[in-house]
Chain A
């Protein structure tokens, strides 16, 4: 059994309630921090823990907290990013739905550390049934004296509010999220000058952290940062929630110790339980739809032939030539019947739909890529379309206000790099691919050999 930090109590009956959460030792980290520690000491423990942002970018959390200027003469805000809309990712929902007090406890600690007296949870609006769950948990924490004025007599005060999004992927990007929280369209802001830590919500210093990141803080305060850093491998400390989906026997949310071999994650019955229907593995998108896709051989082993591990570093090994990213931990598995072109067309349509439209390379480029992919997938592709796609992707990458442009370009470049055979097949056999289930009828065995268990 792997070490459980976040999910250890998730199956305790009644853990949704304050009473049971408290009985399991909940809120003891708040007692420890508010009674025995200074805000700086809390931040120091988070630094020592090596915790990296779990929202996708993997930025060191403790370091990020030190960017907050507490002495700007303005209020400081904590905003929890619960927008969770990166395709393939559903782990924050698991925490929000089942163990809301863990997030609240983490938010109290983080707010204390950065000097915030108001915190917002920006949650995607579709999670309608979770709003009452969170609101009830907040009310319980308040009634128990862990929220409100002068918490535990420490002089520190905090209110937490839940705010619904409106259905827009881009609002997961932190500056778009802040615009949205101000009641505007979710258009990302330019950095500089709008670094949230300096000019965030209402132009005040603001810390934006992911649900899972914040929910990890109680464990760090309880066990100490150095002890937490012993979990995991190298700079990938701790545990990570992985959302596993696609063609596997056991989809779901798994807490893994960072460093677990990818092969074990896919094939062990403790995790994904292998590929469904006894089929072979064709490809994996390891960190949410935005990261490069890898064929079976490269997800299981690096180009150097070493076992690929579930860590920030190992997944990135080989750069974009032969590696990918851990991202948000949205692990999407594709079996031998999957059409890479169809899947890519689907993702590209998603990015086109979700582009806020501010930058022309992103707005127009995603539209072009969608159009070209649509025609290839529907048997109307032209021989130069593959290079055209690659070219458009390159013209988006790195040329936009926010990273959504890159997120749309990387899947395209990587799919062409690793699965050119799939694209060429579509152009060569237009009649065959007009049946949307073409590769279910006749799997394409491409250069990148399929993996067997």
Chain B
């Protein structure tokens, strides 16, 4: 969104566009707005882990709805990131049952280790820390979501090894 850069226009791959059509077909005719949440998830995954205004406008055009209808929704749901994030977002549960089993210590440990506060991204652009509410994993607390998976039964001791593993996986990807 730096104004000296050319306007970025996101476009889905042909495969994703075909998937979008299949998603729209799940809902009755004329109700394609129902596809908004699933398509926003696809957009966030395909365009760098967050939803820029350009991305949201693109989604609006795909579904034939007004951009404002997309903004309203994107700002309501916490899974959507409205500013750039690191390569890997650590979504750590902070709710009661996790707190009973030490999530406060986990969050503090991550803040110190990565030298960031909640919502911030580490200097190397690798990790964003985001505290989230109950992930429905209270029986294996404390827990964090990383990408498509949960990492459960966290301890301050096993956390460093987990971070190293995630870091090397993400480095080998690029």
Interface residues of A (CB under 8 A from B): 75, 84-90, 92-93, 118, 120, 124-129, 161, 163-169, 180-186, 202, 243-247, 251-253, 285, 289, 330, 332, 334, 338, 342-343, 346-347, 350, 353-354, 436
B132: interface (CB < 8 Å): yes
Report the Cα distance A176→B11, complex, angstroms. Answer: 31
How far, in angstroms, from A93 to B147 measured CA to CA in the complex? 17
Contact partner, A85, options B94, B96, B136, B141, Cβ 8 Å: B136
Query: How far apart are the CA atoms of A436 and B63 in the complex, in Å?
Result: 49
Tell me which residues across on chain A come within 8 A of B100, comparing CB atoms: 245-247, 332, 334, 338, 343
**Bound CA–CA A245/B132 (angstroms):** 18
Q: With A167-B132, A182-B31, A183-B36 as given contacts, are A251 and B96 in contact (CB-CB < 8 Å)?
A: no
Assuming A332-B97, A350-B133, what are 20 further A-B pairs, CB within 8 angstroms?
A75-B28, A85-B133, A87-B133, A89-B136, A124-B136, A126-B91, A126-B136, A126-B145, A129-B148, A129-B149, A166-B73, A166-B79, A183-B63, A183-B65, A184-B73, A186-B77, A246-B100, A251-B141, A350-B96, A436-B104
The answer to the question of B155 belonging to the interface, with a C-beta cut-off of 8 Å to chain A, is no
Return A163 CB to nearest CB of chain B, in Å.
Answer: 7
Interface residues of B in 28-50 (CB under 8 A from A): 28, 31, 33-38, 40-41
Which residues of chain B are within 8 angstroms of A247 by Cβ–Cβ distance?
100-101
User: Of all chain B residues, which has the CB nearest A93?
Assistant: B136
Known: A163-B38, A330-B138. A183 touches B95 (CB 8 A): no
Q: Is the CB of A332 within 8 A of B96?
A: yes
Find chain B residues with CB under 8 A from A285 CB: 96
Q: Does B76 contact A (CB under 8 A)?
A: yes
B99 at the interface (CB under 8 A from A): yes
Which residue of the partner chain, among A85, A166, A167, A182, contacts B34 with CB atoms under 8 Å? A182
Residues of A within 8 A of B69 (CB): 183
> Which 6 pairs across A and B sit closest by C-beta, in order of nearness?
A166-B77, A167-B79, A183-B33, A245-B138, A183-B36, A167-B78
* Interface pair B141/A245, CB less than 8 Å apart: yes
Alpha-carbon distance between A251 and B40 when the two chains are bound, in angstroms: 35
Q: List 14 A-B contacts (CB under 8 A).
A: A75-B28, A89-B134, A118-B28, A126-B135, A167-B78, A167-B79, A167-B132, A183-B36, A184-B73, A185-B72, A185-B73, A338-B100, A347-B96, A350-B133
Checking B28, B95, B137, B138 against A350 with a beta-carbon cut-off of 8 angstroms, the contacting residue is B95
Q: Is the CB of A244 within 8 A of B139?
A: yes
Q: Note all chain B residues with C-beta closer than 8 A to A165.
A: 37, 77
A278 to B30, CA, bound (A): 60
- Chain B interface size, under 10 / 10 to 19 / 20 to 34 / 35 or more: 35 or more
B58 at the interface (CB under 8 A from A): no
Number of interchain pairs (Cβ within 8 Å)? 147
B140 within 8 A of A: yes
Given A166-B80, A353-B133, are A181 and B97 also a contact pair (CB < 8 Å)?
Answer: no
- On chain A, the residues within 8 Å of B101 by CB distance are 245-247
Asked if B97 and A167 make an inter-chain contact with CB atoms under 8 angstroms apart, the answer reads no
Is B26 interfacial (CB 8 A cutoff)? yes
Q: Which chain A positions have C-beta within 8 A of B99?
A: 342-343, 346
Residue of B nearest to A251 (CB): B139
B41 near A164 with CB under 8 A, answer yes
On chain A, the residues within 8 Å of B40 by CB distance are: 166
Verify A87–B149 contact, CB threshold 8 A: no
Q: Is the CB of B78 within 8 A of A202?
A: no
| B148 adjacent to A167 (CB under 8 Å) | no
Most buried by A among B69, B134, B141, B149: B134
Chain A residues lying within 8 Å of B28, measured Cβ to Cβ, are: 75, 118, 202
Q: Taking the nearest CB of chain A, how far is it from the CB of B34, in angstroms?
A: 5
Q: Given the known A-B contacts A129-B149, A183-B33, A246-B97, are A251 and B72 also in contact in the complex, defined by CB atoms under 8 Å?
A: no
Instruction: Note all chain A residues with C-beta closer than 8 A to B80.
Output: 166-167
Task: Mark each residue of chain B from 82 to 108: 1 if its CB lies under 8 Å from any CB of chain A, else 0.
Answer: 000000000100111101110010000
Across the interface, name the chain A residue whose C-beta is closest to B108. A436
Q: CA of A84 to CA of B137 in the docked complex: distance in angstroms?
A: 10
Cβ of B133: which chain A residues have Cβ within 8 Å of it? 85, 87, 169, 350, 353-354
Bound complex: CA A165 to CA B80 (Å): 11
Report the nearest B residue to A159, measured CB to CB: B26
Return chain B residues, CB-CB under 8 Å to A330.
138
B106-149 interface mask toward A, CB cutoff 8 Å, 1 = contact, 0 = none?
A: 00000000000000000000000000111111111100010111
- Closest chain A residue, CB of each to CB of B103: A346
Q: Which residues of B contact A186 (CB under 8 A)?
A: 76-77
B132 contacts across to A, CB distance below 8 A? 126, 167
Q: How far is the CA of A207 from the CA of B28 in the complex (A)?
A: 17
Residue on A nearest B138 in the bound complex, by CB: A245
Bound Cα distance from A90 to B93, whole angstroms = 14
B139 CB contact (under 8 Å) in A90, A183, A334: A90
